[in-house]
Amino acid sequence: MPNSIRIKERERDENLGIIKKEIKFSYLDSIITPNKSISPHYKDWIKTDSDKLNISEVNEVSCRIDSDKINLFDVSGSSLIKDIRRRYIPNKVNLLIPHLRIQNDLTQNQVNSLSQFIYVASDSTIILPTIDFSYLKEYKDEKMRTKIFSERRVERYLNLIKVIIQNINAVGNGKPYIGTIPLMSIKYIRPLLKLYQDEGINSFIIDAGTADILGTNLFEFRTILLEINNSIIPLNESLIYASNLGFSLYKKNWTLADDFLSLFIYVDILGGTFKNRGFSITNKNYIPKAKSFSRSEYIYNITNYKDAENNLNIPNLNRIKLKDFNEKEQVNETQNLKTLIGETNLKNYLLQKRPILQEQITFKKISEFSEKVKIKT
């Protein structure tokens, strides 16, 4: 189907939910999974041929779109598209993630402009827009202080996605789609998956909204995979991309890297984080924590920035430099995993990571995934 991405299984691990796949986005753009995306500012990494060998094949470009920006499309849409394309990296799969930050309904003209902007700004593949979860929620009654997902608001988002697809296809479309799935109650996800099935879409990006899919939202994530596998396409023939992944709250000087460990539960591409966690710092004496990824243990070490600067040997360490370090380490480790799939028992490989042994519940969840979510054949 024209809306599908070509996917071919190469090898899989016999014990865990990790599969090496060849993903062909277009005639020229193809990658081998598992993969960790990078952000556009990592152009600085690419200085020599040897550097290029260790860089991810996927460049994730997120674009925040509010109502004011949509109104600008009719005035300076081409200029805004040029700004996005400056963030693309040559010889990489450049994936644009449109991030809608709207609260109210869009007019027909706004949706028309948004649709064509997404099509032209996207490279070889169209990712259907994700949205702030607040757009999908409302107060159940006046007494409630917190908002919950609303059937009416989720239906509004579903209709918006439908119209965007229709508008793009009406003018002519030669690019495959990746369907966006906000991590919410499965009753709201099923109609969205049905829409993607009707459109022949076989690739999906799960927006976790900084939730921990190995922890607090394991039920929703497992059910999404089961629905895709049983109703749309077998998991070994689909692409699962996950962005805005979180990890469990830390009580010690380390926490398991649950976001990275999702690569062992059928996530093919580990995306970036472009949404904020739902809390704010009110204590003026709060000292920010440095969370540094460890390839040898699959954990985030929790320290202050001064100690992290000494441990990592990175002068003048700040939040951006630490994010760069973490993503580069994760890119290198996904490259390593590609060589191990089919050659090494990855269950034993994980058992070498000492903290995972200490967190028996997490290791049990990972181990059970391939047993409980059987790939449809």
> In whole angstroms, how far apart are CA 111 and each of 29, 73, 126, 220, 318?
29, 11, 16, 30, 39
**What mean pLDDT, rounded, does the chain reach?**
88
For residues 332-356, give the mean pLDDT.
93
Q: Is residue 182 part of a domain?
A: yes
Q: What is the extent of the structural domain holding 260?
A: 6-372
CATH classification of the domain holding 123: 3.20.20
Q: Is residue 201 part of a domain?
A: yes
Say yes or no to pLDDT of 90 above 80.
Answer: yes
Residue, of 195 and 54, whose pLDDT is higher: 195
CA 324 to chain centre: 17
What pLDDT, on the 0 to 100 scale, is given for residue 146?
Answer: 75
Q: Which of 343, 362, 193, 331 is nearest to 269 (CA)?
A: 331
Phi, psi (deg, nearest 5) at residue 99: -110, 105
For residues 346-359, give the mean pLDDT.
90
Q: Is residue 317 part of a domain?
A: yes
Q: How many domains does the chain have?
A: 1
Task: Give 152-180 pLDDT, tens digit per residue.
Answer: 889 999 999 999 999 999 999 999 999 99
For residues 262-272, give the mean pLDDT.
96
Q: Is residue 181 part of a domain?
A: yes
Comparing 47-51, 173-177, 373-377, the range with the smallest average pLDDT is: 47-51
Q: Is residue 377 part of a domain?
A: no
Task: Give 184-232 pLDDT, tens digit per residue.
Answer: 989 999 999 999 999 999 999 999 999 999 988 999 999 999 999 999 9
What pLDDT, on the 0 to 100 scale, is given for residue 354?
Answer: 87
What pLDDT, on the 0 to 100 scale, is given for residue 246?
Answer: 92
Residue, of 360 and 330, whose pLDDT is higher: 330
Q: Is residue 1 part of a domain?
A: no
Q: How confident is the model at residue 50 (pLDDT cuts 50, 70, 90)?
A: very low
Residue, of 349 and 280, whose pLDDT is higher: 349
